Chain A
Amino acid sequence: GNSVTQMEGPVTLSEEAFLTINCTYTATGYPSLFWYVQYPGEGLQLLLKATKADDKGSNKGFEATYRKETTSFHLEKGSVQVSDSAVYFCALREGSTLGRLYFGRGTQLTVWP
């Protein structure tokens, strides 16, 4: 079956620190992979995506590379800001473009000034 496992939080960092949030997946086919971000009291916003192996998704300084050999899609940012404080969700979608999303359990990130 399909599932996503991401590192448990919370993660607490100082401003300008390096961020890594690990995400691994299990899929029956060739999934597309996503990172979503949820700010307090809001819905999910798509942060970045990758649709095939070795693709790198990037947005707002965040990056993640689709690694088929390790079934991973780790989220990284070189220098975090206070405004990055949020919950981050790794997700996959099956090969079908109409497919539902499978989410990890989310990682709470808090960045202190």
Chain B
Amino acid sequence: GQSLEQPSEVTAVEGAIVQINCTYQTSGFYGLSWYQQHDGGAPTFLSYNALDGLEETGRFSSFLSRSDSYGYLLLQELQMKDSASYFCAVSGGYQKVTFGTGTKLQVIP
């Protein structure tokens, strides 16, 4: 089976840095993605890691350690608009994607 664990909620101050962790147990693994979802909206792709290491895209970075079955999303210079839910997702089969339980990030002034 597939399971992905994330913290349910995180609160951080505007301008700060926050890290959202994801640990996974899957029967197959091709890569780890991160998605952002605002209330009432659709998921929006943020990043994808297939290999170990850090991927940086502007204020967002994502890290993967395949040996530890672990990854994280790092958000820098937090803005109020970053308040949303963040999901990690594993591509575990040929075209199968399993989403984590999601982390609700609240950015406070």
Do chains A and B stick together as partners?
no
